Amino acid sequence: MTALSPVPAYPWPQGKASAFCFSVDVDAHAPWLWANRADMPRLLGHHEQRSFGPRIGMPRIAALLAAHGIKGSFFVPAIVAETHPWMLPALVDAGHEVGLHGYFHELVAQVSDDQFTHFLEGAIGLFQAQTGQTPRGFRSPAWEMTPHMLAECRRLDLYDSSLMGLETPHSVNGVTQIPVSWSTDDAIFFKFLGGGGDMGPPLGTDAVYRAWTEELQASRRYGTLMMLTVHDWISGKAVRAQMLDKLLGHVTASPDIWIATAGELAAHHRAHAPERDALTASLPESPLEHPAWKDA
């Protein structure tokens, strides 16, 4: 086989053409806490904006999923679960998957390997105490990973859903990977915090609805996973929930799409395609070490 041979179709269950996963990164106030940890501000605005998520966004998103008969994967920072102790038990009761998303939504580049492990183990302990279950999945805050984090996921038998090296389930360094995608993440289109730090105004829902229905069509055509990722405080807003309702109508009207949680996708991959796309993630050497540089 050459590198330009057609890619064999991913073996989705029951002959399905593609897969769709509805995931929620329940960030709430956690990224604000992490960013301000050394110097907590007096200002209420961002904290209130993010607190909308647990107050209104979560019940609204949960009602939407219930109406469409879809189980979601909710990745919750431990500090959010600690602040809102009803959240994990309520999600589990409703049949959703709950997964790890850091303790304080700590950013990978800002913690040591030891701190990462400490926070991860602490978060697992909190999930166990609140739900009686051990979470099976991890999603990294801001979707970055290190070799140490992958090794820890492997040690703790967690799948990861943070990388985007392929568009179908695979494994990286022995860890089952359920890939994400920036183009199906609500934050890049809608996140707007004010105060001058934003890239531009939030997009209207028409443009995003068009983009995501196109993603859905392309996913069916190429047999990929469409991993939709929304945030409680962003897509829980009325007009965005209304758009999601329309989008989910499309998903459920297509019988050839496998609608699954990230945990179900990981279990399927391990059971039916464990040898497929077993990747080793490694980084190339610096250009400064390259012979072409030395000769320059």
Which residue, 139 or 220, is less far from Zn ion as judged by CB? 139
| Interface pick for Zn ion out of 20, 27, 74, 162 (rule CB under 5 A) | 27
**Looking at 10, 22, 24, 25, which residue binds Zn ion (CB under 5 A)?**
25
Stretch that binds Zn ion, among 32-40, 133-141, 161-169, 190-198 (CB under 5 A): 133-141
CB-CB neighbours of 35 under 10 Å? 14
**Cβ nearer to Zn ion, comparing 25 with 160:** 25
**How far apart are CB 264 and Zn ion at their closest, in Å?**
21
Q: Contact region for Zn ion (CB under 5 A) — 18-26, 199-207, 222-230, 263-271?
A: 18-26
- Measured from the CB atom, the residue of 173 and 229 that comes closer to Zn ion is 229
The token pair that represents 223 in the structure block: 């047999």
Answer yes or no whether residue 264 interacts with Zn ion by CB under 5 A: no
CB of 32 to Zn ion, least distance (A): 11
Binding to Zn ion, residues 141-170 (CB under 5 A): 141
Region of 118-126, 140-148, 155-163, 217-225 interacting with Zn ion (CB under 5 A): 140-148
Report how many residues bind Zn ion under the rule CB under 5 A. 3
Of the candidates 136, 30, 134, 158, the residue with the CA atom closest to the CA atom of residue 82:
30
Cα–Cα distance between 42 and 233 in angstroms, integer?
A: 21
Residues that bind Zn ion (CB under 5 A): 25, 27, 141
